Chains A and B, each alone.
Chain A
Amino acid sequence: MFVSKRFGRILAAVCALVLSAGSMLAQNITVTGKVVDKNNEPIIGAYVVVVGTTAGTSTNVEGAYSINVPANGTLQFTCIGYKTQEVAVAGRRVVDIILAEDAEFLNETVVVGYGTQRRANLTGAVSTVDVAKTLESKSTTSVGKALQGAVPGLTVLNVNGDINAEPEIVIRGIGTLSNSGTSTPLYVVDGVPIDNLSYLNPQDIATISVLKDAASTSIYGTRAAFGVVLITTKSAQTTDRVQVSYTDNFGWSQATDLPNYPTVIEQVTAMTEANNRAGDASELFGMYLDSDHFIDMATRWQQKHGKKAPYRKMVFGDDYDELGYYADWDIVNIYFNKAAPSMNHTLSVQGTSGKTNYYMSAGYSQDQSLAKFNPDKVRRFNTTVNVSTQATDWLLIGARVNYSDKTYSYPYTRGANTYQYLWRWGSFFGPYGWYEAEDGTQYEARTLIGARMTGAPSFTKTSNLRLGGFLKIDIVKGLTFNADYTFTNKVVRYKGPGFPSYVLNTWSVNPVVTNIMSTTWMETSRDFYYNHVANAYFNYKLDIAQNHHLNLMAGANLDNSEYEYLYYERHDLMDINMPELALADSDYSYSHTHSHWGSLGFFGRVNYDYAGKYLAEFNIRRDGSSKFPPKDQWATFMSGSIGYRISEEAFWAPIKSIINNAKIRASYGEIGNQEVGSNMYLETMSKTTNGVNWMGSGNSKYDYFGTPKMVSESLTWEKIATTNIGLDLGFMNGDLNVTFDWFQRSTIGMLAPGKALPSVLGASSAYENAGSLRTRGWELNIDWHHSFGPVNVYANANLSDYKTKVTEWDSNNLINSNYTGKEYGEIWGFQTDRYFTSAADVAASPSQSKLESGKFKYGPGDIKFVDQNGDGVIDWGKGTPEDHGDLIKIGNSTPRYQYSFRLGGNWNGFDLDLYFQGVGKRDMWTQSSFVMPFMRGVDGIYTNQMSYVTAQQVATENIDQNAKYPALFGGGAGQGTISSSIVSGGRYNFYPQTKYLVNMAYLRLKNVTIGYTLPHKLTNKIKIDKVRVYVAANNLVDIINNNKGTGIDPEINTGVGSYANGVWGRTEPIYRTYSCGLQITF
């Protein structure tokens, strides 16, 4: 022992001698120089190091440096985002250098759970969002909406254009069928979960990573079963001076597509045919549409005016009389604004003071809906303060404060959304002009306009406050301890007064001015969320020998939430100008819920890489959750991943110039899902206040406690197991990068209703861990960029696809419910053959009498379905996968082949960015009145529905097979004679079928932005770093839109009210926005 120790010392001494001798051989000289990028802009803060020593410096604001270096030494220049370059001094006194941008991005730091990783070392399925291109210089204030198409595998669906709504976001599709299929990803902002992206100002965001496979997400435990969107906000960076940035955007929006109406005579002709067929009077609110008087008046109006009427005073005897309304109102232009304004502003300041860095920002945005009358408005104020200080050389402490205040204000329209009524009836019946009473007072008709204009101002204000502190301690070299704690308090305040609303009541034969709001009231509610999150973990970085790199991490996480909801409603306001609870005369109702949940997790992770070639990661997490019964509360989940950078192998050298980078990745992991709903294992009994329609002797309705639900004796975590295999390739010197992932995600022991039981049970079946789901899919990302001299161009494309299958389902085995083997989203229906040509044809064809109900009987001009099984009867068998009669799979509502591509470039300060986004394949069965005529009784008929089999054709049995629609009959929406567990709604001629399936595939130019950055030389004179101006347009053009005729935007997939009322499509239109903006940094 003694000998060997001594020998070691001698050896060290010799080495030192040799090294110092070497350095003594060369003369040290002072080298100065300037580091610039290819545009000759100085690079600030680049490190300049003498190779082989620890001597180094960094560049100043001008990009200049000065360093002592041996005359024969080598200088190494490093800067994040640029390729590291080494230059031999060779006796020169001045070494200027141009650093090339690091095109490979392999050194890019990617934010992952509880840490960061070099992209080169990633083994999981992690995609990053190009924040600059996606979020900056856009008119959108919604991070969620902006993420549409941003990374493969992330599905963002904008189902309507509601300015206050967030899109539906899922990663790799639906992951569970329990809890209403809730498969939302976990959003983590600066290490702390957040329930909604709408609190964020896009301008504050620094990075967004999307973690897709279990190996990447499992460190977050049971809330991360369906992927994680990791967001970091701009934090304090060390800067040499105070940097101030200001950005703004002004936008003007209009609807992309809107339905419209044919002439009044065309409308009432169709309505009368449908009414007559059912044996009903062609009557609407006391108007007789087939009366000579009505036809005469409507015809006369049409001849006199020739075009649709704008919003104006209604003239008695022309627009209306005591027997009806005849004017053809231009609903689209009366109701919708063609340039609804929006704007946003953000001001940020960052800087360094001593050892303290700070970033502060304030943002304001406002947006309004497209309604011309009293539009809905959203205003949001955001502020962020991030501070960190290096208290000692081993302790970093910091704090983050985020506050967001969002106000959504709107008129109270009788509790019914405007869109419930906007398109419901014909363009003659709204009506959409105003009525002047004898005393000259102007009254709106009983329409959405009247409701909006007289509706009491209501609002929902959401305040979200996050206070966080964090510390990082360097314990010994390589070992750090991190801890953070964040408190979130969200308060939602709703205030909805009810005021008298005097309008012309047109829902009556002889209209009178009426107060359609008979009581006055004040209803208000408060939602309080309190959330505490604490994380603490150790990280130990260790290099063994030269090539073994280890990173160990272990910690604990605590998440505890409380929610309280209070609702109160009082009636009879003393003064409508003071709508406050205290100033209302009578109590009406209240509601209160209070709940809490919490989870606790212990986690550990090991990362290992050998020479950057062989990579491995292992995660373990033990979770406890309050969502399960005590005996099933705790569970342990593990995951791991490996990577092989084959391009680093010696044998790869011959092709390295072609394929610069090649990495194969594989991962497998299991995670528990706790988001299965509340109190699932308890036989809860809840109070419903005023829930009984009975008053006894008092003056309020009875309360009651409901029956306990049936529960299963044992209930535990759903287990989500994900396998991911990936391939990363880099070509053309890193200009072209391709990433491909294949995955399989299985949800095992999914909480599902137990076997469906007959209704005689008197309750829904208890939930059990009884189902399984499997999703398989793939994702492809291609990224290319290149500089042709001063012209930089880029192209990026994402494509992904997945299919979800129900692999196990114990409950009933019916085809429109879940069943073992079902492909999620599949739509069952009949295959449309043609129209019946005659009564004889009906009699000779397979009988469709099982589909008849009410007054509807199949006859000439009606839909004939294909008898798939040739048994002479159109039916649905048992409605099971084995016996489904003539029903077949006609489509699937899952968005398939989601894709996006971005093309752009810059030249001499000009930049252009084109962003296209689309869905390759998707079907929807809608029951919509816009897609098929008269789905909700005989309400309204639209321009695209004028091609139908007429009563004349039916009477003469001379059916036009090219007509778009069959003979008219009201009320096609709603469940027909087949159970909803077997086939979706739609009846009479409109059972789900191939002919009227909506093709929702689309491709649109989502965004185009043209910008110009003023030359630095120019702006520098007035001490401004950067000035950029731009113009942009969202949803400018549809390249593929199969839905054009209906006037419904191809992305819309919702409606106000029950789909059985044909409302699909009746919603806030999606809009096209033109905007311009400015970005200044100084």
Chain B
Amino acid sequence: MKKITIILSAVLLSLTLTSCVKEILNGDPYTSFTKSNYFTSETNVELYANYFYNEWSGYGNSGSYGSFYFPTLSDNQTPTGYTEWNFTSVSATNSTWNSCYTEIRRANILLEALPGIESMSAAAKANWEGIARLYRAWQHYCLVRTFGDCYWVDHALDVTDEDILFGPRQDRDGIMDKVLEDLNFAVANISYNANSRTAYNNAVAQAIKSEICLYEGTFCKYRSAADGQKAADESRATRFLGECKTASQAIMNNSNYALSSDYKAVYNSFDLANSAATKEMIMYKKYVQGVLSHSTIDYTCGSTQTNGMTKDAFDSYLFLDGNCLANTKLNKNDHGRVEPWIGGKNPYADDRQWNIDISEVLAVRDPRLGMQIDDVLLYPGVGYKRYGLGAEATSSTGYGVQKFDNPAFTNATLRNSIGGAETDAPIFWLGNVILNYAEACAETGDNAGAVNAVNMLRDRVGMPHLTSSPAADPKNNMGVSNLIWEVRRERRVELMFDNNDRYWCMIRWHQLDKLDQTKYPDQCRGAWVGDFEHAKMDVDANGYIITLNGKTGRQYNAKQYLAPIPSGQIDLNPAIGQNHGW
């Protein structure tokens, strides 16, 4: 009996265990949602859309490079040696191509989910639709300016979307028209966070629209069929430049925004919520030590040579009399003061003893130059401890970049630590928008509008006003009017080292040949050091630092206007085709 009881209980127990089959075989995850149960509230929409902020690298994240200072493919900056084109051959993959389409999918999934969220009001839906479309527009713009023709994708693609997956690329102009539709929707519908300076809001939409339309307007105006592009299209250019002006004006007329009295505060504030530049910020990226920090200061004052300002850029600054280098009546001398070290004295007692002093050279030039580079030269041999702190920095050109540095950042260790800095980064700001406006005006013949806008920026740094008929600069090699040349100069000196702006300007102005270093060798030259024994640098016959070290440097080829379509994508879809020249 006992035996039977035990056997029976054992069998029953086994049966009980197997009866919880449903429970055991239920595979629903505990800590993740699925697409079908996630989009149920505005809170969830917001959490999903948070990823859209990752787009803005600002000064970088921890050790990674940001979009300020680090991109050196332009005539403004050079490392030792030189910066090669982004592509010299067809690569297999391209991170822009991949990431933009990944992000477009992200936006489209939200756009498709929004209508079904019952708990959200129409206004809320419109706001988020605006943000998602703004983001989608931005991603398409990034694709078009990099690759030209690509694909307009307005829904989350499935394997059945063969016309896009395996079809030929679409005309860039058509895509940019769609981009403008998205931008206009965003501008009309984004209503949240009007007073925030760290969130997507209507002004951010206007700023993005301003930038994209300036790009599209000027690009279409100057592009050339001779270089494998579509022929210039004046009416299209005018249309987009008009849209740029509208968007820019919306911000310029918004009392929420005002130019900072302090140019540098835009770039080196510890807290852009409470800074001289606060009102200039449309959107900025906040950094806090130990949470999210960056390395833009470390890399401009660390031991490895900084990518210094080129002689070409240095010479592009106006003098205090409002004239360019060729025309100025002021002292054109660019040789710094050499104060050789007297033997026996500790070379580190006074940091300046070993460095060539250029403060007098800077004193007669546009003050923005002195706000961006050090007033002594730094070079291998002996570096320079900026503000007497941290490591001895050196620069590839002698001109050290101090635009992003702040004398109040006194922690010597953090200054030289990867991810040590916590100054906030501007992402969209009024100064930039004013430059967009000035250029759109100049390009559409509104000279007064252009001059007024430029002078807003000149006023804050105390530079003489631009007139609507400026004197000719013999360096004007872009084939544009004196006024446009000056507007472009203003953009260059104001946005020096910012956001890779110069490179994209050269593309949209169709001036990429000006980045050929065999023709414009000053892009690989730096400061004058003469035969100063402590400057262990290669110098040219005139005593200017030369970074090329016997190399030819970057050479222009028209194919550089567009990045090559990655070969991996061509392998998957031969109909995609390759860009001109690749």
Binding site for B on A (CB under 8 A): 276, 278-281, 283, 285-286, 288, 291, 322, 392, 394-395, 471, 473, 475, 481, 483, 505, 507-510, 512, 514-516, 518-519, 534, 536, 556, 558, 560, 571-572, 586, 588, 592-600, 624-630, 633, 678-679, 681-687, 691-697, 699-708, 754-763, 765-766, 812, 814, 849-850, 852-855, 878-880, 975, 977-982
Within 8 A of A (CB), among B1-43: 2-3, 6-7, 10-11, 13-14, 17-18, 21, 23-36, 38
Q: B25, B35, B81, B394: which contacts A624 (Cβ < 8 A)?
A: B25
- Judge whether B115 is part of the interface by a CB distance below 8 angstroms: no
Query: Min CB distance, A94 to chain B, in Å?
Result: 45
Contact A701 B292 (CB under 8 A): yes
Assuming the contacts A279-B82, A471-B10, asked whether A693 and B551 have C-beta atoms less than 8 A apart, the reply is no
B18 touches A600 (CB 8 A): yes
Measured between beta carbons, the chain B residues less than 8 angstroms from A760 are 101, 150-151, 153, 157, 164-165
Set A572, A679, A702, A759: member contacting B97, Cβ < 8 A = A759
- Bound-state CA distance A982–B93 (Å) is 12
Least Cβ distance of B163 to chain A in Å? 11
User: Known: A279-B551, A586-B290, A977-B92. Is A707-B24 also a contact (CB below 8 A)?
Assistant: no
Residues of A contacting B159 in the complex (Cβ-Cβ under 8 angstroms)? 754-755, 757, 761, 765-766
Task: Report yes or no: A708 in contact with B34, Cβ–Cβ below 8 A.
Answer: yes
Give the distance to chain B from A977, nearest Cβ to Cβ, in Å: 5
Can you pick out 27 interface pairs between chain A and chain B where the beta carbons lie within 8 Å of each other?
Answer: A279-B81, A279-B82, A281-B549, A288-B380, A475-B3, A508-B416, A515-B413, A516-B413, A558-B18, A598-B23, A598-B24, A600-B18, A625-B25, A679-B29, A685-B34, A685-B48, A692-B51, A692-B54, A697-B196, A705-B38, A757-B572, A758-B166, A761-B165, A849-B89, A852-B88, A878-B571, A977-B91
Closest to A693 in B: B61
Which of B102-110, B211-219, B308-316, B506-514 sits within the interface? Answer: B102-110
Nearest chain A CB to B382's CB is how many angstroms away? 8
Closest Cβ–Cβ distance, residue B158 to chain A (whole Å) = 8
Complex contact A707–B109 (CB within 8 A): yes
- B50 x A704 contact (CB < 8 A): yes
By beta carbon, the residue of chain A nearest B26 is A626
Nearest-Cβ distance from residue A570 to partner chain B, whole angstroms: 11
B452 part of interface (Cβ distance < 8 Å): no
| Interface check B440, CB cutoff 8 A | no
Q: Which of A515, A626, A686, A687 meets B25, CB within 8 Å?
A: A626
Report whether B7 and A473 are in contact in the complex, using a CB–CB cutoff of 8 Å.
yes
Of the candidates A679, A683, A708, the one whose C-beta lies within 8 Å of that of B27 is A679
A695 & B291 in contact (Cβ 8 Å cutoff): yes
Contacts of A473 in B (CB 8 A): 3, 6-7, 10
A627 touches B32 (CB 8 A): no
Q: CA of A977 to CA of B165 in the docked complex: distance in angstroms?
A: 24
Given known contacts A515-B413, A683-B35, A686-B31, is B292 in contact with A693 (CB within 8 Å)? yes
Whether the pair A395, B6 counts as a contact (CB closer than 8 A) is yes
Closest Cβ of chain A to B405, distance in Å, is 16
> Which of A392, A518, A757, A759 is close to B414, meaning CB atoms less than 8 Å apart?
A518
Which B residues touch A982, using CB under 8 A?
A: 92
A599 to B26 CA separation, bound complex (whole angstroms): 10
Please tell me which one of the listed residues B56, B165, B347, B383 contacts residue A286 in the complex, with CB atoms under 8 A apart. Answer: B383
- On whether the beta carbons of A685 and B153 are closer than 8 Å, the reply is no
Partner of B105, one of A519, A597, A707, A879: A707
**Cα A700 to Cα B287 with chains together (Å):** 10
> Which residue on B lies nearest to A855, using beta carbons?
B84
Write out the residue numbers on chain A whose beta carbons fall within 8 Å of the beta carbon of B166.
758
Within 8 Å CB of B122, what residues of A? none
**Which stretch, B252-260, B298-306, B363-371, B494-502, touches the partner chain A?**
B298-306
CA distance A832 to B463 in the complex (A): 63
B290 and A980 contacting across the interface, CB-CB below 8 Å: no
Name A856's closest neighbour in chain B (CB-CB).
Answer: B88
Q: Are A518 and B420 in contact (CB under 8 A)?
A: yes
Which of B13, B303, B394 is most buried by chain A, counting CB atoms within 10 A of its CB? B303
Asked whether any CB of chain A lies closer than 8 Å to the CB of B282, the reply is no
B571 proximity list for chain A (CB < 8 A): 812, 814, 878-880, 979, 981
* Contact A694 to B380, CB < 8 A, known contacts A280-B549, A683-B36: no
Assess the B51–A481 pair: CB atoms within 8 A: no
Given A556-B18, A981-B568, A687 and B414 contact (CB-CB distance below 8 Å): no
Q: Is B54 a contact of A694 with CB atoms below 8 Å?
A: yes
Distance in angstroms from B469 CB to nearest chain A CB is: 44
Give the shortest distance, in Å, between A137 (CB) and chain B (any CB).
Answer: 42
Per the bound structure, the CA–CA distance linking A759 and B13 in Å amounts to: 53
For B51, give the chain A residue with the smallest CB separation: A704
CB < 8 Å neighbour of A759 from B61, B394, B569:
B569
Seen from chain B, the residues whose Cβ lies within 8 Å of a Cβ on chain A are 2-3, 6-7, 10-11, 13-14, 17-18, 21, 23-36, 38, 44, 47-48, 50-51, 53-54, 56-57, 61, 80-82, 84, 88-93, 97-98, 101-106, 108-109, 150-151, 153, 156-157, 159, 164-166, 196, 198-199, 273, 285-292, 302-305, 347-348, 380, 383, 390-392, 394, 412-414, 416-417, 420, 536, 548-551, 566-569, 571-573, 576
Contact of A598 with B303 at beta-carbon distance under 8 Å, contacts A283-B380, A700-B291 already known: no
Max count, chain A CB within 10 A of own CB: residue among B30, B97, B347, B576: B30
Beyond A276-B550, A594-B30, A853-B91, list 8 extra A-B contacts (CB 8 Å). Answer: A286-B305, A510-B391, A514-B412, A629-B27, A703-B50, A758-B569, A765-B159, A979-B93
List chain A residues, Cβ under 8 A from B11.
481, 536
Residues of chain A within 8 A (CB-CB) of B380 are 281, 283, 286, 288, 509
Which A residues are in CB contact (< 8 Å) with B54? 692-694
Which residues in A have their C-beta under 8 angstroms from that of B576? 758
Assess the B392–A286 pair: CB atoms within 8 A.
yes
Q: How far is the CB of B377 from chain A (nearest CB, A)?
A: 15
Q: Which residues of A contact B21 (CB under 8 A)?
A: 600, 624
Contact in complex: B572, A756 (CB < 8 Å): yes
A766 contact set on B, CB distance < 8 A: 159
Q: Say which residue of A514, A586, A598, A812 sits within 8 Å of B416 (CB atoms).
A: A514
Q: Which 9 A-B pairs rank lowest in CB-CB distance, beginning with the nearest?
A: A979-B92, A762-B105, A598-B24, A279-B551, A694-B53, A508-B303, A508-B391, A626-B27, A683-B35
- Looking at the assembled complex, report how far the CB atom of A284 sits from the nearest CB atom of chain B, in whole angstroms: 9
Asked if A687 contacts B47 (CB within 8 A), the reply is yes
Let me know if B394 and A286 touch, CB within 8 A. Answer: yes
Q: Which chain A positions have C-beta within 8 A of B7? A: 473, 475, 481
- Whether the Cβ atoms of A279 and B550 lie closer than 8 Å is yes
The listed residue (A280, A291, A629, A878) touching B81 by CB distance below 8 A is: A280
Residue contact A684 to B14, C-beta cutoff 8 Å: no
Find out whether the CB atom of B392 lies under 8 angstroms from the CB atom of A510: yes
Question: Which residues from B are CB-within-8-Å of A285?
Answer: 303-304
Chain A residues closer than 8 Å to B302, beta-carbon distance: 507-508
CB pair B89 A853 closer than 8 Å: yes
Interchain CB contact under 8 A, B31 and A592: yes
Q: Which residues of A contact B383 (CB under 8 A)?
A: 286, 509-510
The answer to whether A685 and B35 have CB atoms under 8 Å apart is yes
Interchain CB contact under 8 A, B25 and A980: no
CA distance A855 to B517 in the complex (A): 14
With A and B bound together, what is the CA distance between A754 and B572 in angstroms?
Answer: 13
Max chain B Cβ within 10 angstroms of own Cβ: one of A475, A694, A702: A694
Q: B56's contact among A624, A683, A694, by CB below 8 Å, is which?
A: A694
Known: A279-B548, A760-B153. A599 touches B572 (CB 8 A): no
Known: A279-B549, A483-B10, A694-B53. A705 touches B44 (CB 8 A): yes
CB contacts (< 8 Å) of B165 on chain A: these are: 757-758, 760-761
Assess A395 versus B3: contact at CB under 8 Å? Given A286-B383, A633-B25, A763-B105. Answer: yes
Separation in Å of the B521 CB from the closest CB of chain A?
A: 14
Cβ B412 vs Cβ A594 within 8 A: no
Given contacts A483-B10, A692-B50, A977-B92, contact A595 B25 (CB under 8 A): no
